[in-house]
């Protein structure tokens, strides 16, 4: 009997290099922009435009990979374009306006990678029964941890001239592992005799917008992102207000990524040992409840060390959230557009929540200081827990007993 293919290692490595590049781009972007003399409000506008570029590109990429191209071909194309944009940004670094425009274009191509890869893993389980999302996603956490520590030390010592070159190198390193992954059968391809089963782009969106359960999941996930991004996006400024620097910021991010990796691996081991899938309601509820702890910790405890503790707690929350949200979006929509449903849900919620948090957070930071962001995060995270309690039965008709496989 022929052994099934093994895709865990190449997925793990692809996530590692993607999240390492993502860390350099997104985690250090506010420090990079403030080093170029930009205010917190302007940083919020630029990062929000980056996320809006993602929102525009995500439906294009997701529908293309469901209908026209394989996910592998599309991501390889995007990785090549990102490397080119990074090299061009380095060459034009003396022109801030052009550099910011290229940065926004890069964001539009790079941010959707995560959601597309999540859907790719979900679709590859039929080919590799041993493929576990939480285990391969832990590679991303390891990459983020390594890049946080290394990039923080590098930028502190050598400055910001290689900001874009580091990203180009990491996306280039991901390419061989993408080539080792499967070309999946397209889920929404129009075939002879099956035209009625094919969904147009408008039809795909219509299916999602007419699913109350999908929309409730979207609302909860959007509020989740809005609850933690005021602190996450401006964490470098919070650390600076406590006399920290780029090295300290990198160390805090590295601690969070290591804890996230351990949480994902621990969750996978727990589910494997239990021999069954975990209740979706329990996973999502645990994620939202744990989300309250980071801002609460920062509000109650003085000094730098609560930032490390809070980042670790937030990472536990994020590991739980990601495992639950992928399954929630997968179960709530038409199976013809399953990958489209997952990636659109993950992208729309993260972009909408983060854009709102960045704009409100930048304005609030300039108005009242960085610690006002911590109180904002605490209030929204508590409100999201109450929202889950109010709509729990609608979101989980079986009382939360639907199982989530990770």
* Of residues 217 and 209, more confidently modeled: 217
Give the CA angle between residues 86, 89, 90 to the nearest 5°: 90
- pLDDT, residue 171, reads 94
Q: Residue 194 above 50 pLDDT?
A: no
Three-class SS state of 35:
helix
Tell me the average pLDDT across 290-317: 86
- pLDDT, residue 176, reads 93
Q: Residue 18 above 80 pLDDT?
A: yes
In a domain? residue 192 = no
In a domain? residue 3 = no
- pLDDT, residue 215, reads 87
* Of residues 208 and 187, more confidently modeled: 208
- pLDDT, residue 21, reads 92
Q: Which of 67-81, 128-142, 327-341, 382-396 has the lowest mean pLDDT?
A: 327-341
Count the Cβ atoms, other than its own, within 10 Å of residue 158: 9
Q: Residue 71 above 80 pLDDT?
A: yes
Q: Residue 13 above 90 pLDDT?
A: yes
Q: Do 355 and 367 contact (CB within 8 A), yes or no?
A: no
- pLDDT, residue 177, reads 93
Nearest by Cα to 114 from 25, 185, 18, 182: 18
Q: Do 208 and 335 contact (CB within 8 A), yes or no?
A: no
Tell me the average pLDDT across 99-122: 83
Overall residue count recorded for the chain in this entry: 406
Portion of the chain with pLDDT greater than 90, in percent:
13
Residue with tokens 């010592």: 157
In a domain? residue 190 = no
Dist. CA 312–CA 286, nearest whole Å: 15
φ, ψ (nearest 5 deg) of residue 401: -90, -5
Beta strands 403-404 and 278-279: pairing type?
antiparallel
Q: Using 50, 70 and 90 to split pLDDT, how confident is the model at 84?
A: very high
- pLDDT, residue 331, reads 76
Mean per-residue pLDDT over the chain, rounded: 81
CA distances to 167, 227, 230, 382 from 379, rounded to whole Å, are 35, 8, 11, 5
Query: What are the start-end ranges of the H helices in 275-405?
Result: 280-291, 293-300, 305-331, 338-368, 371-395
- pLDDT, residue 382, reads 92
In a domain? residue 2 = no
Q: Residue 393 above 80 pLDDT?
A: no
Q: Do 238 and 371 contact (CB within 8 A), yes or no?
A: yes
Q: What per-residue string of b and e applies to 28-41 under the rule 16 or more CB within 10 Å gives b?
A: bbbbbbbeeebebb
Q: Which of 54-68, 102-116, 191-205 has the lowest mean pLDDT?
A: 191-205
φ, ψ (nearest 5 deg) of residue 404: -110, 125
In a domain? residue 191 = no
Count the Cβ atoms, other than its own, within 10 Å of residue 170: 26
For the chain, the straight-line distance linking the first and the last C-alpha, in angstroms and rounded, comes to 27
pTM score, two decimals? 0.70
In a domain? residue 12 = yes
Q: Which of 169-173, 362-366, 392-396 has the lowest mean pLDDT?
A: 392-396
Tell me the average pLDDT across 57-86: 83
Our count of domains for the chain comes to 1
Burial (CB count within 10 angstroms: exposed 0-12, middle 13-18, buried 19+), residue 77: middle
* Of residues 218 and 51, more confidently modeled: 218
CA distances to 67, 74, 89, 194 from 191, rounded to whole Å, are 11, 21, 43, 5
In a domain? residue 194 = no
Q: Residue 166 above 90 pLDDT?
A: yes
The CATH number of whichever domain residue 372 belongs to comes to 1.20.1250.20
Count the Cβ atoms, other than its own, within 10 Å of residue 197: 11
Tell me the average pLDDT across 263-277: 69
Q: Using 50, 70 and 90 to split pLDDT, how confident is the model at 12?
A: very high
* Of residues 280 and 34, more confidently modeled: 34
* Of residues 268 and 402, more confidently modeled: 268
Copy the structure tokens of residue 402.
Answer: 């639907």
Q: Using 50, 70 and 90 to split pLDDT, how confident is the model at 400?
A: very low
- pLDDT, residue 133, reads 79
* Of residues 404 and 12, more confidently modeled: 12
* Span 318-346, pLDDT tens digits: 888 877 887 788 777 666 666 677 777 88
In a domain? residue 212 = yes
Domain of 58 in residue numbering reads as: 8-179+204-404
Nearest by Cα to 252 from 162, 139, 365, 152: 152
């Amino acid at each position: 009997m022929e052994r099934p293919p093994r895709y865990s290692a190449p997925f793990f490595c692809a996530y590692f290099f993607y999240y390492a590049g993502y860390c350099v781009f997104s985690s250090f972007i506010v420090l990079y922009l403030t080093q170029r003399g930009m205010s917190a409000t302007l940083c919020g506008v630029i990062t929000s435009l980056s996320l809006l570029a993602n929102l525009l590109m995500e439906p294009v990429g997701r529908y293309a990979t469901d209908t026209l191209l394989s996910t592998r071909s599309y991501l390889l194309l995007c990785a090549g374009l990102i490397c080119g944009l990074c090299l061009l940004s380095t060459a034009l670094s003396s022109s801030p306006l052009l550099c910011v425009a290229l940065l926004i274009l890069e964001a539009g191509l790079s941010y959707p990678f995560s959601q597309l890869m999540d859907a790719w893993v979900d679709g590859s389980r039929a080919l590799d029964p041993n493929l576990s999302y939480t285990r391969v996603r832990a590679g991303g956490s390891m990459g983020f941890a390594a890049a946080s520590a290394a990039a923080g030390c590098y930028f502190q010592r050598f400055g910001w001239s290689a900001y874009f070159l580091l990203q180009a190198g990491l996306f280039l390193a991901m390419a061989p592992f993408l080539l080792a992954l499967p070309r999946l059968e397209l889920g929404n391809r129009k075939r002879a005799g099956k035209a009625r089963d094919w969904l147009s782009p408008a039809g795909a969106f219509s299916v999602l917008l007419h699913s109350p359960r999908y929309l409730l999941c979207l609302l909860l996930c959007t509020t989740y992102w809005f609850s933690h991004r005021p602190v996450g996006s401006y964490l470098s400024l919070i650390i600076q207000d406590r006399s920290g620097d780029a090295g300290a910021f990198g160390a805090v991010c590295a601690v969070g990524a290591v804890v996230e990796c351990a949480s994902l691996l621990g969750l996978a081991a727990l589910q494997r040992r239990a021999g069954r899938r975990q209740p979706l309601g329990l996973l999502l509820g645990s994620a939202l409840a744990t989300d309250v702890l980071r801002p609460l910790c920062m509000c109650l405890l003085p000094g730098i060390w609560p930032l490390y503790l809070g980042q670790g707690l937030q990472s536990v929350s994020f590991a739980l959230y990601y495992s639950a949200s992928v399954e929630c979006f997968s179960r709530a929509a038409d199976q013809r557009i399953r990958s489209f449903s997952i990636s659109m849900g993950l992208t729309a919620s993260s972009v909408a929540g983060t854009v709102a948090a960045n704009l409100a957070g930048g304005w609030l930071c300039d108005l009242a200081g960085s610690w006002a962001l911590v109180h904002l995060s605490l209030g929204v995270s508590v409100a999201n827990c109450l929202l889950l309690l109010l709509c729990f039965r609608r979101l989980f008709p079986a009382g939360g007993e639907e199982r989530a496989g990770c």
